[in-house]
């Protein structure tokens, strides 16, 4: 489809899909339902979505079949494709970890020497072992890696872990982290985009930045005793110039400010201690920087 649209490859169905579509929605990009279609144009942005298996995304972007892609960094590293990471997206976070039988102990990395490790990520594991000067035997398995130890094929495994429940079911437990992953936006390293597409991409990245900033921030509103303003400004580090409004009760002030969402729960008790009341924390849709 030579319509001049920027072509974005995303996972068709899997753990990245919902988060990716949600990010695009927060960028105010509207997509019709895609069902079984491979290619869908956005309704209000010069963007075409190409739905693929996640494993194919780095290569398609490297070769210019798609202009950009959203995929797990684990897949990008494993495929060793010639792509740039343009932006870390902060979702679909997971860890590639060594898993060992519940009854084993692995006090230090050196204990991996001479062991056999089953994994679907031989390249990442090999890079990790080489960097740490360890020689293990790597067995590549494409799925259900966690059954390898009970089948006697491998001593240990190296696989993506989030809760560790799959490991537990197979009488394994988590050990060392080999790689920390999150979804990333990639572009081809060797191919250059046409001017028109570069403009669309920079617009898209601006929208992504604003959506990510908004997600990490909340709008805080509260009432405080007039004489605690100075203390409250100290409690909230990002509160350089809060909006302060007078209230009918002359002893009180209303304070509004944008704060980092993750800090809020750490400071709420301090705020209450100096007399803050009517505390409201509101999600922010976009922050335009």
Binding Zn ion (rule: CB under 5 A), the pick from 48, 54, 56, 78 is 54
Place of tokens 């081809």: 188
Mask 92-131, x = binds Zn ion (CB under 5 A)? ----------------------------------------
* Min separation Cβ 167 and ligand ATP, Å: 12
* Min separation Cβ 72 and ligand ATP, Å: 2
Regarding 78 and contact with Zn ion (CB under 5 A), the answer is: no
Q: Could you tell me which stretch among 51-59, 94-102, 179-187, 274-282 binds Zn ion (CB under 5 A)?
A: 51-59
Task: List residues binding ligand ATP (CB under 6 A).
Answer: 11, 14-16, 53-55, 72, 74-75, 92, 94, 160, 162, 181
CA–CA gap between residue 18 and residue 25 (Å, rounded): 10
- Buried/exposed code over 138-175 (b: 16+ C-beta within 10 A; e: otherwise): beebeeebbbbbeeeebbbbbbbbeeeebbeebebbbb
Nearer to Zn ion, 27 or 124 (CB): 124
Nearer to Zn ion, 54 or 159 (CB): 54
Residue 279: CB atoms within 10 A of its CB come to: 15
Using CB positions, name the residue nearest to ligand ATP.
72
CA–CA gap between residue 6 and residue 193 (Å, rounded): 9
Edge-to-edge order in the sheet of strand 243-246: 243-246, 252-260, 217-225, 277-283
Which residues in this chain contact Zn ion in the complex, by CB under 5 A? 54-55
């Amino acid at each position: 489809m030579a319509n001049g649209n920027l072509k974005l490859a995303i996972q068709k169905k899997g753990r990245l899909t919902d988060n990716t579509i949600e990010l695009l929605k927060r960028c105010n990009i509207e997509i019709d339902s895609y069902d079984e279609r491979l290619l869908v144009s956005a309704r209000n942005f010069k963007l075409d979505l190409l739905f693929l298996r996640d494993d194919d995304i780095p290569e398609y972007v490297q070769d210019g079949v798609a202009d950009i892609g959203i995929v797990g960094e684990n897949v990008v590293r494993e495929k060793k494709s010639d792509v740039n990471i343009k932006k870390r997206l902060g979702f679909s976070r997971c860890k590639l970890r060594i898993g060992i039988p519940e009854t084993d102990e692995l006090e230090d990395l050196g204990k991996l020497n001479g062991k056999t490790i089953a994994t679907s990520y031989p390249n990442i594991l090999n890079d990790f072992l080489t960097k740490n000067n360890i020689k293990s035997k790597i067995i590549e398995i494409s799925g259900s890696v966690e059954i390898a130890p009970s089948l006697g094929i491998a001593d240990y495994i190296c696989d993506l872990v989030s809760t560790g429940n799959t490991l537990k079911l197979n009488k394994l437990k988590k050990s060392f982290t080999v790689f920390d992953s999150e979804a990333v936006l990639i572009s081809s390293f060797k191919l250059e985009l046409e001017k028109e597409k570069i403009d669309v991409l920079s617009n898209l990245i601006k929208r992504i930045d604003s959506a990510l900033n908004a997600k990490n921030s909340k709008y805080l509103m509260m009432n405080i005793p007039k004489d605690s303003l100075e203390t409250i400004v100290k409690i909230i580090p990002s509160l350089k110039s809060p909006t302060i409004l007078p209230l009918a009760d002359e002893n009180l002030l209303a304070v509004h400010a944008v704060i980092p969402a993750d800090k809020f729960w750490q400071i709420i008790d301090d705020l209450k201690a100096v007399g803050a009341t009517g505390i409201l924390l509101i999600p922010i849709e976009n922050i335009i920087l």
